[in-house]
Amino acid sequence: MNPETNHLHEYGWTLWLIIFGMAAVTILNRAGFILLSGRFSLPPKVQRALKYAPAAALAAIALPDIFTSHGHIDVSLENTRLIAGLFGFSIAVLARSTLPSIIGGMLALHALQHWL
Amino acid sequence: MSAEGRDEDAAAAALEADPAADEVERESREHPQSSATGRQYASGREGFFGGMRAVVPFLFGTIPFGLVTGIATKAAGLSAAAAVAMTTMVFAGTAQIASLPLLVSGAPGFVVVLTAFIINLRFVIYSATAAPYFATLPMRWKMVLGYFMTDTGFALFLRRVAGQPEMAFREYYFLGSGMTVATVWLITAAVGVLAGAKVPPEWQLEFAATLGILALLAPFVRSKPDFAAAATGGAVALLASGLPMKLGLVAGAIAGICAGVAAERVFAPRAREAA
């Protein structure tokens, strides 16, 4: 996520459609079974599969983001976002807390960019 | 309405996938009177305040999460209006933070929406588990309760009704905890949006969104199948990152879910069925 390559402004008003879309699918997930209550239930097998959705999707977003730089896979010390990302993730695992992990990761990013 | 057998199974499965459940468990161990067991409420008002009180310890997690979400949303380049609208309407920080790198990279709208859907699939489990407890309520109640379904609120509610399946005014209890979390979340996110606008670009705060996703990933990766789901999801998305329209991300998520299910069979064959 580099400010020079931020494509956000290209969405224009469709950004609002995207926000409405995200809101709609989220409320559907949240309220769906409560609204249908009694008439339908979710098979245990499906529930078990859905359990893995957050881990799979979050990793699918974050890993390509840190393992590439300038559009190529980059597993080296030069890739400061990879090192800082892994550092932040380790803090999250050890401290079980979001904020220290983000602060630690940001500090690591700046330290690496400064010293490398 | 029953809370035994299949439902309990579902509850256990849901709690296992829920990062907030961890906190609830710790909390109820430290303050055994506060959430797991409790008295009957005599009125909706009492139930509502009961829910409010029960959720207070968890606000220490909500506050930084709201700030981070607000700051990251502003740093990604959204206008303050769009950032606040997203925070209010989507009301799901994990999906919101996850959408930011996609928006910055110019992913097509349907991929962003689909990603939010996949990340929030965990709410389907919560919703299905909580549904029997709200089955007899009128439709308008159900819609309101659906909106206020959060990781923390669900975990807290489930702890409470597990010990007291016929608890009176449980919908007020759920609403009390949900509205408290929502209020604190919206205020802190708005503060984050305002603060984010003042941060100079050299701080590269856009990276905070990626770090946020990694931090949110951590509590979902506890067992071997969880790890298989995350590793496969990440690897497939990385290798497929050349696909147009960010579809590599969707491919990774689907492959990760399949890997998790497959790994569950390898590492714990039959264990679940026996439980």
pLDDT for position B257:
96
Query: Counting beta carbons within 10 angstroms of the beta carbon of residue B5, is it exposed (0 to 12), middle (13 to 18) or buried (19 or more)?
Result: exposed
pLDDT for position B7:
39
Domain-wise residue ranges, chain B: 1-217, 221-270
DSSP letter at B196?
H
Inter-residue contact A33 to A47 (CB < 8 Å): no
Backbone angles phi, psi at B164, to 5 degrees: -155, 70
Q: What is the pLDDT of residues B202-245, one digit of tens each?
A: 888 888 889 989 998 998 999 999 999 999 999 999 999 888 87
Q: What residues of chain B lie within 8 A of the CB of A37, using their CB? A: 131-132, 134-135, 142
CA distance A113 to A81: 9
The helix/strand count (H/E) of chain B reads as 15, 0
ipTM for the predicted complex comes to 0.87
With an 8 Å Cβ cutoff, are A55 and B230 in contact?
Answer: yes
The first and second tokens of residue A2, run together, are: 């580099």
CA distance B79 to B90: 16
With an 8 Å Cβ cutoff, are B218 and A25 in contact?
Answer: no
Backbone angles phi, psi at A6, to 5 degrees: -80, 115
Q: What is the pLDDT of residues B129-143, one digit of tens each?
A: 889 899 999 999 999
B193 inside 8 A of chain A by CB: no
Q: pLDDT band at B20, cuts 50/70/90?
A: low
With an 8 Å Cβ cutoff, are A60 and B120 in contact?
Answer: no
CA distance B125 to B113: 19
Write the residue in A47, A65, A88 that is nearest to B10 by C-beta.
A47
Q: How far is B49 from chain A (nearest CA, A)?
A: 23
Q: Which helix (H) or strand (E) holds B75?
A: helix B59-75
Q: pLDDT band at B38, cuts 50/70/90?
A: low
A72 inside 8 A of chain B by CB: no
- Residues in contact with A6: Cβ distance below 8 Å, sequence separation at least 6, in sequence order: B76, B77, B104, B206
The helix-helix angle for A14-35 and B109-119 (nearest 10°) equals 30
A94 inside 8 A of chain B by CB: no
A32 inside 8 A of chain B by CB: yes
| Tokens 């991929």 found at | B111
Q: What residues of chain A lie within 8 A of the CB of B231, using their CB? A: 59
CA distance B258 to B173: 37
Can you say whether the dihedral through the CA atoms of B92, B79, B101, B255 is positive or negative? positive
B205 inside 8 A of chain A by CB: yes
